[in-house]
Amino acid sequence: MQQQSIKIDLSDRSYAIEIGTDLLGNVANVSDLPKASSALIITNDTVAPLYADCLRKALKNSYQQIECLVLPDGEEHKNWQTLNKIFDALLQNQCDRKTVLFALGGGVIGDMTGFAAACYMRGVPFVQVPTTLLAQVDSSVGGKTAINHPMGKNMIGAFYQPQLVVCDLATLDTLPARELSAGLAEVIKYGPIADMAFMEWLESSMDALLARDRTALAYAVRRCCEIKAWVVGQDERESGLRAILNFGHTFGHAIEAGMGYGAWLHGEGVGAGMVMAAELSQRLGLVDAGFVARLRALVQRAGLPLNGPVLDVVDNAGRYLQLMRVDKKAEAGEIRFVVIDGPGRAVVRAAPDALVREVIDACCS
């Protein structure tokens, strides 16, 4: 499969997203790597046995010293304690301000590695090597890095751009089916917010994506990255337009925090969250019931949950509202939602608590 390249245009912070098959073992020839004497590969105990040696061998002619740090896998480990393990490794190996960090894994590894890169010596270069669909189409692109807090997801972090993103589609062959479905949530969101032609393509291509057809996956990853590149190029720090990329995330993050990180995968929360956000859009008079039904059908075909969980048996909607007030889009305690302002267009706006309660009561079981 031919390698494809997409540029994130951010002036002196611009970089390439390289998409193709079997890029991991040839990463030094894929694109220009940051120059340094040392590199640190950061991965987890699920991905390391599969791909760490391959990446290390591919980098051996580019860096004199290559170390590998293996962290525990899972959203529940995306915290200060795990982040400090990265700093420990950097200091123990006497890494300098040119040391390159390679994030080999999914969104958790990418977010933590990027945050560590932003902080260590006030900024060192890093490269994203995403091995999950979710990371390839979303979290590895755009420079949002963070860790979780028990009270809210991704509340502590920094905007810090990688110098390169390498998406090797072959790594998706080893992705568990549940993780593949979770990644499809982030794929699906791009249609309702920006490109209804892409949503139509997803409706006709979902079976191929679930079967891991390389051609279908390549197109999905490329189109998602194209849309995200366009958005990030206009609004790097999420002061306006970029917030639309959080469609379904306000509800989804509440689910993750309320259930305990790791109980629901991020994409599962986003899947149910998109349905809830679409229901809210309908109740606000922005879309019709047909659009909501269409989105529900696509989310269901991807193997994602349609209903959110019950977080509190006494006042479930109240618990959701409490968690969503910690969302990064909230202003002065007012929750702001990404809603669909007609198919293919998204806006960020507030909604009355009473209306949000109706949506939660209707969409949780």
Active site residues: 122, 144, 186, 228, 238, 242, 246, 249, 253, 266
CA distance 337 to 327: 10
The phi-psi region of residue 142 (left if phi > 0; otherwise alpha if psi is between -120 and 50; otherwise beta) is left
CA distance 258 to 142: 27
CA distance 86 to 95: 11
Structure tokens at 303: 């193997």
CA angle 41, 46, 50 (to 5 degrees): 70
CA distance 71 to 74: 9
Write the DSSP string, 173-222: GGS-HHHHHHHHHHHHTHHHHH-HHHHHHHHHHHHHHHTT-HHHHHHHHH
Taking the CA atoms of residue 278, residue 361, residue 265 and residue 273 in that order, the dihedral angle to the nearest 10 degrees is 10
Per the CB < 8 A criterion, the answer to whether 143 and 163 are in contact is: no
Burial class (CB in 10 A: 0-12, 13-18, 19+), 79: middle
Length in residues, the chain: 365
Structure tokens at 343: 């198919």
The phi-psi region of residue 22 (left if phi > 0; otherwise alpha if psi is between -120 and 50; otherwise beta) is left
